[in-house]
Amino acid sequence: FIAENAGNEVKAGRAQLSSDEILGICDAYYQRLVEAGQFSTAVEAFRAVLEKSQNPAVKEFLEGRLKRLELVGKPAPGIVGPDVDGKTFDLAGTRGKAVLLVFWASWCVPNSAQVEWLQEVDAAYRDKGLRIVGIDVDAQQDGGTKLETILPNVRRFILDHNIRWTNL
């Protein structure tokens, strides 16, 4: 940055950003590159920053995003589990089809806001073969909660929001 003092002297200096500011910039850059399909650019940029960074929080963030980027274009890991009605769902049964996995929780306000958008996506692309599969993470809250305890809340959320796609 360039600073000017009262005597109109111009001095060059170096701005110090907080960890939160750096993480915010990295996340915004990551989002823009991913939305633009520039995965290789994101990998290259994040590896370069990771190599130079001394900040543990920034390093952890970048390593996490690089792990996500390594998954792009690869098959999803196996997912098998009961849906909210107790029927077994196996992601392998959708092999070769487009599947949008949505991880959500009934207590998460942004998830409520996303339901309308997901319903629009479902309506627009279901006939073209897209399948949405929700994976509820309520049981992971507070270090783990019994399924019987959270299932009524999960079912209520699904009914209240008129969600028609499979939910595990």
pLDDT along the chain (168 residues), means of 10: 53 74 90 91 93 91 93 87 92 91 85 88 94 89 72 90 93
**Residue 12, pLDDT score:** 57
* The pLDDT value given to residue 1: 44
**Tell me, what's the pLDDT at 128?**
94
**Residue % of the chain over a pLDDT of 90:** 52
Q: What is the pLDDT of residue 139?
A: 79
The whole-model pTM stands at 0.64
Q: Spell out the alpha helix ranges (H) of 84-145.
A: 109-125
Residue pair 97/127 in contact (Cβ under 8 Å)? The answer is no
- Secondary structure of residue 120 in the 3-state scheme: helix
| pLDDT confidence of residue 121 | 94
What single-letter amino acid sits at 156? R
Gap between the Cα atoms of 98 and 16, Å rounded: 44
pLDDT at 7: 57
Helix (H, G, I), strand (E, B) or coil at 74: coil
